[in-house]
Chains A and B, each alone.
Chain A
Amino acid sequence: MNDNGLCVELVAQSSRYGSLWPLPQKVQLSDVSFKLTTSSFRIVDAKESSAGPSCKHLTFLNFSCHCVIFSTSTFVLWATSFEGNECDAFRDQPTRDKQHSPSLSVPVQPFAVLKAPKVWGALHGLETFSQLVYKDEFGTKNINQTTISDFPRFAHRGILLDSSRHFLPIKVILANLETMAMNKFNVFHWHIVDDQSFPYLSRTFPQLSQKGAYHPYTHVYTPADVKMVIEFARLRGIRVVPEYDTPGHTQSWGKGQADLLTPCYAGSKPSGAFGPVNPILNTTYDFMTQFFKEISTVFPDAYIHLGGDEVDFTCWKSNPDIQKFMEQQGFGQDYSKLESFYIQKLLNIVSTTNKGYMIWQEVFDNGVKLKPDTVVHVWIGGATDEEMHKVTGAGYTTILSAPWYLDYISYGQDWQKYYKVEPLSFNGTEEQKKLVIGGEACLWGEYVDATNLTPRLWPRASAVAERLWSAKDVTDISDAFNRLSAHRCRMVERDIPAEPLFSSYCPHEYKGV
């Protein structure tokens, strides 16, 4: 049944940019083509490269690129990564830094050159290279003479997954990281625990998952699991930023940690229900100190996301001890002051671990004193431009998620709506706009688990990927449709069940059922 009534055929045409996604900053194409064969295709470190054969990233990518793409001829891709000892296979973590700038050229002779300042740039360049390869009508792999100069518009390009509303098996997380790399995302925001379940197996407080996970054995992330995710991400140039959201969104924490949550009162007696973290007990802060000490050692990224969103004051208001505390502190009836009191102490605790922190916008909105390098995460829809103006006006780095809540599904090609967002459309000075370091596509888990995560996230998140990587003026929706259709088929070919954009086909349809 055709919803338009008319016979509208939206068949993807070929874009002159082929299937490049996200679109690089500068692309020079030509019609001169070369054939590629597996037997004689190699990726080698150029002489000038400071990344040696021990560079795990490139070795890994060499292997996987090879598997993924190539099947012909004397073709050599010289990968160069310079600028110091940038590839310590054991220690190096991707950072917030934007200086990835890979440049890639496929010149006349049968070799190509990839230059990147850092190994993370080289990774991106390899992905771009793989996207230039296409099959001719005989099925042979070809690549055209091309020169590309690339860098991301924004440094922070993230995906949020929620493993608390539904447990996400490790396989799904890893598959998602793989797909993120294909789309040049570089931050995995792991919203690992929340009200519904606590799957994170803490060394210091094993009771948290023992009592708080959906099942203490089958629905937890062991230290080994977590390590695997971090390393898998690292090899693909993806940072893992964990979020331990407090004081709200913590129901599951109270199962394994008595006295952490505030007991709610019905009249003069406890009702049996619990509310947000109890901000008036010293034990709370002792717990947080020990807990975040562990988190800061488990997760190597420079940042931790501390949440701070949607704190419901009802329970605090009902509790007589809290009422007394409010009086003592002179907070009156303003419970946002109590919230700030808690957050302030929490931020101080986390600062001692030498980590930077990211927080949801409410923490900023409620006037909490933040460190200058705090990252404020704007998520509330409605007055987003105003909020961006306020947050950057106050001098804080900002990331944008409000227009990119991909869990809000609807019928039709909603990728277009995500593509059309312009993160810097708010009123502000150049300086202010520089503070917007990027954004994140969020896939909250109320209605999402391993059965539907991948098709729901991809290729819709790819629209966000291009918006965060490519130049501001890359806005042609028809060209995007053509390239994204091809990019989507490529994901399917790599066994990622990315859902279709519209009626059409891929040469290789999805095989899993």
Chain B
Amino acid sequence: SIRIIKKYTCLNMNYLLLIMIHIGVGLHAVGGVWPMPQISASSPEQYPLNPEAFYFEYGRQSEAQPGCSVLDAAFKRYFSLIFPDYFPGDNLSVCAGQASLKAETVWGALRGLETFSQLVYQDDFGSFFVNKTDIEDFPRFQFRGILLDTSRHYLPVQAILKTLDAMAYSKFNVFHWHIVDDPSFPYQSQTFPDLSAKGAFHPMTHIYTQTDVQRVISYARLRGIRVLPEFDSPGHTQSWGKGQSDLLTPCYKGGTPSGAFGPVNPTLPSTYQFIARLFKEVSSVFPDSYIHLGGDEVNFFCWKSNPDVRAFMQKMGFGTDFTKLEAFYMESIVNITSTLNKTAIVWQDVFDYHERIPEDTVLHIWKGVPYDYTKELSRITKAGKRVVLAAPWYINHIAYGQDWRKSYTVQPLNFSGTEEQKKLVIGGEVCMWGEYVDATNLTPRLWPRASAAAERLWSDEKQTSSVEKAFPRLQDFRCKLLRRGIQAEPLYVGHCRHEYQGI
């Protein structure tokens, strides 16, 4: 029997996790764990495992006991992951021994279970083994996210759930749901049902109902993953205007409306009433304490063309500086978010345009090459704001060859700044924008390339600086993903014991 000892109650998400796994068996490879644990010691002593006699158990001193939904579900899930294709009745060798897993929070215990599941291996006869190992682990960064874009292409709920499974295998813990954008509005709002009725690709087949959304949130929660919704405005909102007339700015050609629409109209009170009501709903639907408000790539052309907007600019004393108008809008909606007791995350544009935002707003860095984003990291952390780094991890940008190496060798804290500043980098995010991605190619495009970033965000940088050493481990991890039903693409030539059989 393997005993898991839990000391603390089944609480809400905590950022710092301390996990210890003592397992009385031998060493195959702590190299067999991805991402690499912070501290580990292994030995060649090898113990067989018998699925007939294996079980997880809450320790006597654990505050979490049967009834802790997250761990009850996890024990069941990890049993199947550890013993794939196991049918009760198979008689394997008897094992002796005990392993213990200690964690401060239930989320830490989840990570520990994942690590444990990766230590178990099969020999050529199908027998299960785990080696004597001592692991002390914790993530380098608290925020380790994946962005999915369900507006450029609708992603069936199944595809999202599958992604959450794969995220858990790499210890990602934030699902950034870029749920709506220009091309479509699939989120079915209770307050404003027309948004999806008129703005989705199809009002019945290409939407996320409240049930769908709750399903995603609870599925994520059981895997220790936060769901961070993004309702990006004032740009990227074409689809919003279909179901909410007067929300977007009418563009003018000469003296008359051209029929086209631009960003959200920041001059009308109705805009802010709408946003307030929509965000009220969003903040109750999504339990996370953060909301992503977007704020990127606002094109001023349409605002400039509109006489009412120009008049508003004059009235407000903005002159012809439209960044001030954008700032006015963003500041208003960030305030709305604060009154709803949520913290805002916004794209870096908001900071770049010198907008006045609350101290605890998190900035999301997405632009440019290392030269650009390291400067931005310095700038934003110097201003005392927290940042999440996405710029080097836009893996929707595909290229021929082993581009996972680029993701792996990113150095998030390699910028000029004090220790205090560097502490403000709370983590990073892998972005899979959807212009060229949908359920037909999402999984192979995301995995295992995203796992390279996963190790960069979890593990110690010095221990994981060698791409050459990482390659065989990541190849091995990729085969594990295949075994677990994740359609992860190959890194290079080779094979896995169990290939993907489907189309």
Residues of A within 8 A of B (CB): 1-3, 5-7, 9, 11, 165-167, 169, 171-172, 175, 196-197, 214-215, 218-219, 407-413, 445-452, 454-456, 492, 495-505, 507, 509-513
Contacts and interface: CB of A to CB of B under 8 A. Distances in A.
Given A503-B152, A503-B183, A492 B440 contact: yes
A407 B489 CA distance: 13
A169 B499 contact: yes
A361 to B, nearest CB: 22
B158 interface: yes
B125 to A, nearest CB: 15
Q: Among A9, A450, A451, which residue has the most Cβ atoms of chain B within 10 A? A: A451
Interface string B400-416: 11100000000000000
20 contacts: A9-B238, A171-B503, A197-B495, A215-B497, A408-B400, A410-B400, A447-B401, A447-B490, A450-B499, A450-B502, A452-B444, A456-B441, A497-B441, A497-B503, A500-B440, A503-B151, A507-B202, A509-B439, A513-B158, A513-B487
Contacts of B296: 1
Interface residues of B, number: 59
Contacts of A197: 495
A456 B440 CA distance: 10
Contact of A214 (B156, B202, B495): B495
A507 B499 contact: no
Interface in B480-497: 482, 487-495, 497
B182 A7 contact: yes
A451 B297 contact: no
A171 B503 CA distance: 7
B159 A410 contact: no
Contacts of A3: 435
Interface string B289-305: 00000001101000000
Nearest to B232: A1
Nearest to B178: A1
Interface in B133-156: 151-154, 156
B398 A409 contact: yes
B385 interface: no
A416 to B, nearest CB: 13
Contacts of B182: 2, 7, 9
A451 B366 contact: no
A505 B493 CA distance: 34
A502 B435 CA distance: 5
Contacts of B187: none
Nearest to B302: A7
A408 B403 CA distance: 13
Given A499-B436, A505-B201, A513-B159, A171 B153 contact: no
A411 B394 CA distance: 11
A492 B500 CA distance: 19
Nearest to B488: A451
Contacts of B159: 513
B436 A513 contact: no
Q: Is the interface of A mostly helix, strand, loop or mixed?
A: loop
A87 B151 CA distance: 50
B397 interface: yes
Nearest to A197: B495
Contacts of A196: 493-494
Interface in B255-302: 296-297, 299
B439 to A, nearest CB: 5
B493 A165 contact: yes
A273 to B, nearest CB: 18
A499 B501 contact: no
Interface string B434-455: 1111111101110000000000
B366 A1 contact: yes
Contacts of B238: 7, 9
Contacts of B441: 452, 455-456, 497, 499-500
Given A497-B441, A504-B183, 12 more contacts: A2-B236, A175-B503, A218-B499, A411-B436, A447-B400, A452-B445, A496-B503, A499-B440, A503-B153, A503-B434, A504-B153, A505-B206
B121 interface: no
B242 to A, nearest CB: 12
B383 interface: no
Contacts of A507: 202, 205
B299 A7 contact: yes
Contacts of A11: 183
Q: Among A175, A447, A456, A509, which residue has the most Cβ atoms of chain B within 10 A? A: A509
Given A5-B297, A5-B299, A215 B495 contact: yes
Contacts of B206: 505, 509
Contacts of B402: 447
A476 to B, nearest CB: 22
List of 7 A-B pairs having minimum Cβ-Cβ separation, nearest first: A452-B444, A455-B441, A497-B440, A505-B201, A214-B495, A503-B152, A452-B489
Contact of A505 (B153, B490, B503): B153
Contacts of A505: 153-154, 184, 201-202, 206
Contacts of A499: 436-438, 440-441
B399 interface: yes
B162 interface: yes
Contacts of B487: 451-452, 513
Contacts of A172: 503
A6 B154 contact: no
A449 B399 contact: no
B396 interface: yes
A456 B493 CA distance: 16
Interface string B238-262: 1000000000000000000000000
Contacts of B183: 9, 11, 503-504
Nearest to B206: A505
Contacts of B482: 451
Contact of B439 (A2, A218, A513): A513
B141 to A, nearest CB: 22
Contact of A446 (B184, B299, B443, B493): B493
B172 interface: no
A448 B495 CA distance: 11
Nearest to B397: A411
B36 to A, nearest CB: 24
Given A169-B501, A411-B396, A503-B153, A510 B439 contact: yes
Nearest to B200: A505
B107 interface: no
A513 to B, nearest CB: 5
A241 B175 CA distance: 47
Contacts of B490: 166, 447-449, 451-452
A513 B503 contact: no
Contacts of A165: 493
B433 interface: yes
Nearest to B478: A451
Contacts of A215: 495, 497
Q: Among A7, A215, A501, which residue has the most Cβ atoms of chain B within 10 A? A: A7
A357 to B, nearest CB: 27
A196 B401 CA distance: 17
B399 A410 contact: yes
Contacts of B439: 497, 509-510, 512-513
Given A500-B438, A505-B184, A171 B497 contact: no
Contacts of B501: 169, 171, 450
A446 B438 CA distance: 24
Contacts of A492: 440
Contacts of B82: none
A500 B398 contact: no
B247 to A, nearest CB: 15
